[in-house]
Amino acid sequence: MPYIHPHELVERALELSRADGCVVIADEESTANLRWAGNALTTNGVTRGRRLTVIATVAGAQGTASGVVAREAVTLDEVESLVRAAEAAARDAGPAEDAQPLLPGRPASADFTAPPAETSIEVFAEFAPALGRAFARARAAGQLLYGFARHELTSSYLGTSTGLRLRHDQPTGTVELNAKTEDLAASAWVGAATRDFTDVDVTAMHTEATKRLGWGAKRIDLPAGKYETLLPPTAVADLMIYLSWSAGGRDATEGRTVFSKPNGETRLGERLSPLPLTLRSDPARPGLEAAPFVLTHSSGDDSSVFDNGQPLAATDWIKDGVLANLLTTRHSSELTGLPLTPPVDNLELAVDDQAGAPTLDEMIARTERGLLLTCLWYIREVDPASLLLTGLTRDGVYLVEHGEVVGAVNNFRFNESPVGLLERITEVGRTEPCLPREWGDWFTRAAMPPVRVADFNMSSVSQAS
pLDDT confidence bin for 61, thresholds 50/70/90: confident
The answer to whether residues 166 and 311 touch, using CB atoms and an 8 Å cutoff, is: no
The answer to whether residues 447 and 431 touch, using CB atoms and an 8 Å cutoff, is: yes
pLDDT given at position 222: 97
Query: What is the DSSP secondary structure assignment for residue 218, as one 8-state letter?
Result: S
**How many whole angstroms from its chain centre is CA 18?**
37
pLDDT given at position 465: 62
Residue 178 has pLDDT above 70, yes or no: yes
Residues 6+ apart with CB under 8 A from 92: 67
Residue of 447, 421, 437, 439 lying closest to 375 (CA atoms): 437
Rounded mean pLDDT of 305-311? 98
Specify the 3-state DSSP secondary structure of 176.
strand
Rounded mean pLDDT of 144-170? 98
Rounded mean pLDDT of 406-429? 97
- φ, ψ of residue 382 in degrees (nearest 5): -105, -45
Model-level pTM?
A: 0.96
Express each pLDDT in 20-36 by its tens digit.
999 999 999 999 999 99
Residue 128 has pLDDT above 70, yes or no: yes
Rounded mean pLDDT of 396-421? 97
pLDDT given at position 364: 98
Rounded mean pLDDT of 132-161? 98
pLDDT given at position 43: 93
Residue type, 414: F
Percent of the residues in the chain that have a pLDDT greater than 90, as a whole number: 98
Express each pLDDT in 89-124 by its tens digit.
999 999 999 999 999 999 999 999 999 999 999 999
- φ, ψ of residue 151 in degrees (nearest 5): -130, 125
d(CA 263, CA 255): 8
Paired sense of beta strands 446-448 and 347-350, if any? parallel
Residue 1 has pLDDT above 80, yes or no: no
Sheet strands side by side (includes 278-281): 322-323, 315-319, 278-281, 347-350, 446-448, 432-434
Residue 297 has pLDDT above 80, yes or no: yes
Express each pLDDT in 42-52 by its tens digit.
999 999 999 99
Residue 2 has pLDDT above 90, yes or no: no
The answer to whether residues 444 and 193 touch, using CB atoms and an 8 Å cutoff, is: yes
The answer to whether residues 200 and 125 touch, using CB atoms and an 8 Å cutoff, is: no
pLDDT given at position 99: 97
pLDDT confidence bin for 463, thresholds 50/70/90: confident
pLDDT confidence bin for 360, thresholds 50/70/90: very high
R_g of the chain, CA atoms, integer Å: 24
Q: Which residues of 217-281 form beta strands (DSSP E)?
A: 219-220, 225-231, 278-281
pLDDT given at position 3: 80
Residues 6+ apart with CB under 8 A from 74: 9, 50, 51, 52, 82
d(CA 39, CA 147): 10
Query: What is the DSSP secondary structure assignment for residue 424, as one 8-state letter?
Result: H
Specify the 3-state DSSP secondary structure of 55.
strand
Summary mean pLDDT of the chain: 97
Q: Residue 409: how many CB atoms within 10 A of its CB?
A: 22
Residues 6+ apart with CB under 8 A from 289: 195, 283, 346, 445
d(CA 363, CA 360): 5
How big is the CA angle at 432 (ends 430 and 438), to the nearest 5 degrees? 120
pLDDT confidence bin for 231, thresholds 50/70/90: very high
pLDDT given at position 196: 97
Residue 69 has pLDDT above 90, yes or no: yes
Residue 72 has pLDDT above 70, yes or no: yes
pLDDT given at position 365: 98
d(CA 164, CA 289): 21
pLDDT given at position 147: 98
